[in-house]
Amino acid sequence: MNFPSIPSIPYIDFGGSGFPIHFSHANGYPPACYQPLLNLLSNDYHVFSMLQRPLWPNSNPEEIKDWLPFTADLLAFLDQKSLDSSIAIGHSLGGITSLRAAILEPDRFKVLVLIDPVLFPPKFIFARRLIWSQDTIYRYHPLIKATRYRRRDFTDLESIFTGFRRKPVFRYMDDDGLRAYVKGITTPTPGGGYRLSFSPEWEMRIYATGIWKDMDIWRKLHNLKIPVLVIRGAETDTFLPSSARLFKKRLPSASIVTLEKTTHLVPLERPNEVYNTIVKFLQEKL
């Protein structure tokens, strides 16, 4: 795994020599968090993962008003890498980013894999737009409230691991997966210690600007002609059963797989099962 020195969109090359895969990461989860899964995929494919703009030097959270720029960034990155045909895989925010890219430019992709995408049913979208403005959402969104006071600096990785090991949100992650996550979310600081790579300001901004434009996805979903696989956690609070049913209704050709004893963090909780599910699907469709 290395960070190429390029004067453009930064990315991680996880290696491999097969057909190219681009993996789009979630809000607050840099690509290195997914190393157990992406290392497995690199045994069969050449895996790239662009760093989304919250991880770019000097990026400003106020520059986004919705999630559409993330899709523009992905398409620009594919141009940068001269990837005219690839497999798109995305988790959470990365799933929506990849889905929009495939809707806009379907000829750029052979297969689309969405892992617990942030796609709520239309009633939820309408209610959110009716009840919350982008000003009030900062006061009432539970994830924003939790993120605002998140600790940013740590003395060592082991203390982070020990603290996270007790949190219910990580109950289905094994120790190896949790350690990969801890290493993936942090950057060493010059004076020693570690700091979160993904700033809370950016994370809050993404929570605040999501969902608003998602009716365009539901309206255009039926136009997708490429193979689509959706992997969801059985206990997710993000890609709900109602979303899964509507997704299948709008796009009957899609395959939707639910993995038991998993949450929204399914690619970090069950990297082997997610890998096997993806590879089986790709072998059938490519």
Looking up tokens 């969902």 gives 211
pLDDT for res 61: 94
Q: Which residues pair with 87 in a beta bridge?
A: 21, 111
Residue 47: domain span: 11-140+211-285
For the chain, which ranges sit under pLDDT 70?
1-7, 131-135, 140
Query: Full-prediction pTM beyond 0.75?
Result: yes
Residue 170 lies in a domain: no
Structure tokens at 34: 């997914």
pLDDT for res 134: 61
Residue 164 lies in a domain: no
Q: How far apart are CA 90 and CA 116, in angstroms?
A: 9
Q: How far apart are CA 33 and CA 26, in angstroms?
A: 10
pLDDT for res 137: 77
Residue 156 lies in a domain: no
Is the C-alpha dihedral spanning 229, 203, 55, 182 positive or negative? negative
Residue 154 lies in a domain: no
Residue 200 lies in a domain: no
- Whether residue 286 contacts residue 110, with contact meaning beta carbons closer than 8 Å, is answered with yes
Residue 147 lies in a domain: no
**Order of all β-strands in the sheet with 194-196:** 153-154, 194-196, 186-188
Q: How many other CB atoms are found less than 10 A from the CB of residue 87?
A: 27
Residue 174 lies in a domain: no
pLDDT for res 135: 67
pLDDT for res 143: 75
Summarize pLDDT for 23-61 with one digit per residue, the tens.
Answer: 999 999 999 999 999 999 999 999 999 999 999 998 999
**Domain count across the chain:** 1
Residue 109 lies in a domain: yes
pLDDT for res 150: 83
CATH number assigned to the domain comprising residue 70: 3.40.50.1820
Q: How far apart are CA 158 and CA 188, in angstroms?
A: 13
